Amino acid sequence: MPEDPAQTPEAATRPFSVVAALIPVLALVAMLSLVILVLPKLQPGFEGTGHLPLVGAAAVAAIVARLHGHRWPALEAGIVDAIKLSMGAVLILCVIGMLMGTWIAGGVVPALIHWGLELLAPSYFLPTACAVCSAVSLVSGSSWSTAGTVGLALIGVGGALGIDPAMTAGAVVSGAYFGDKLSPMSDTTNLAPAMAGTDLFSHVRHMVYTTLPSWTIAMVVYTVLGLGIEVTPGAGSVAAIQTALSASFEPSLAHLLPPLLVIVLVARRVPALPTLLLGVVLGGVLAVVVEGASVAEVLGAAMKGYKSSTGDAAVDELLTRGGLDSMASTVLLILCAMSFGGVMESTGMLHVLARQLLRLAKRTSSLIAVTVLTSCGMNVVAADQYISIVVPGRMFARAYREHGLHPKNLSRALEDGGTLTSPIVPWNTCGAFMAATLLVPTTAYLPYAVLNYVNPLVSITFALLGISIARLPAEPPKP
């Protein structure tokens, strides 16, 4: 029986030069610039997305690989493997879409918005939103679950208060990734020390030195932004919105059950997918029992999203969202991004670029800076948070040992650059998820996701100044 060509070694392949490995990256940048920046200006009404540029860049990467001897079955296998890596994210994304629909139909989101409007004021809403998401994510260990539950409600509250949704989304993303990064229950918090060769709690303690100052800077920025917010009362005023919500829904303590249960189960390490599915079911039960919806209406909200008809335009805009269908474009974006990343990773082009960057690391400070920048770059090129941790982690581990650096420096740099920047790249799985869940484009909330771009800068600055750099203990002299 002949051997599977996708599994046989490719003895005829030629190594990639740095220029060759850069060609797909440059093609991606050029096509993204054309579709997202140039064409919308030349043709008003045209809305560019990253889907086709990613497909085109994947094709360019495949052509470059073929010219270097890589066969199509192996390239296809690399694409499939990369897509498999993202399937967990895709499934959660689909469930979040259904959860949004049933939680609105069940009155959960309207109740949270109603209570939030009573408790929060525009002047301190942004720092409060960031702090709440930080606490929930720290307990749950999941930025995605935090954004899909508490974050969704905060977007509604912020909109009702007249706050730019991009600001609210930025505060939510900052808070969600603060907790995700420092929580011992987070997957990336466990992955980074495993790649670097250190233990979990040494890694978490070492991250506090760069993460806490970054979070403090973010909170100061949100406080300043909040003090400058001016809300103009009108048809969409807080009182009008609360009246419309009360007329269409009946906020009660029962509406707290789904979000509280989801947070508790995730905190107890129950897998996210069944936990969120349970949240979908509970939202549907509330819709039928408390809000008087029919089963058909609940299923429609889960599939196509909730269609609000309160008569108040502001409320209808807040609540018309969700559904499995709403996640289709985001799922396709992830598939396109992982196709490009799969070719780049499986052919070794990513490793060529990473090795080239490693040559720039002559000193301790430059090594850590290069690690942070490489993880950031992997989020752009490979479009996946895990690859941004795994590839640099494998590539740089030996260099850290040779420089006499404790591996917890590497694990911290991987998270400072990889975990934190993933949600501010539009075609990255994390950026696509946040945009779809919060209904705010990644490019819109990016300026307000302060923690996510300040933390890498703080990490690099600390490295250059020699602050909080742990070294390996000196080996005792041999007898």
Distance CA 88, CA 136 (A): 21
| 67 and 138 part of one domain | no
What DSSP character marks residue 473? P
* CA distances in angstroms from 377 to 46, 84, 357, 419, listed in the order given: 28, 22, 11, 12
The answer to whether residue 6 is domain-embedded is no
pLDDT interval class at 237 (50, 70, 90): low
Helices (H), strands (E): how many in the chain?
Answer: 25, 0
Asked if pLDDT for residue 7 goes beyond 50, the answer is no
pLDDT at residue 92 in the model: 82
Which of these, 108, 93, 110, 149, lies nearest to 324 by C-alpha position?
93
Least confident window among 78-82, 137-141, 417-421: 137-141
pTM of the complete model:
0.76
- Host domain of residue 445: 21-41+50-72+330-465
Q: Which tens digit of pLDDT belongs to each residue from 297-354?
A: 999 999 999 998 888 777 787 788 889 998 888 888 888 888 988 898 899 898 888 7
Q: Does one domain contain both 379 and 439?
A: yes
- 217 vs 454: CA distance, rounded Å: 8
Query: Three-state SS for 471?
Result: strand
CA distance 160 to 163: 7
Assess whether 209 and 128 both reside in one domain.
Answer: yes
Burial, 445: exposed, middle or buried (Cβ in 10 Å; 0-12, 13-18, 19+)?
buried
Count of domains for the chain: 2
Question: Residue 321 falls within a domain, yes or no?
Answer: yes
Residues 361 and 278 in one domain: no
Check residue 476 and give its pLDDT. Answer: 54
3 domain residue, yes or no:
no
Read off the pLDDT of each residue in 188-216 and give the average, rounded to a whole number.
90
Q: Is residue 269 located within the same domain as residue 361?
A: no
Q: Which two tokens stand for residue 26?
A: 């440059």
Which carries the bigger pLDDT value, residue 461 or residue 473? 461
Dihedral of the alpha carbons of 200, 202, 206, 211, in degrees to the nearest 10:
30
**Above 80 in pLDDT, residue 417?**
yes
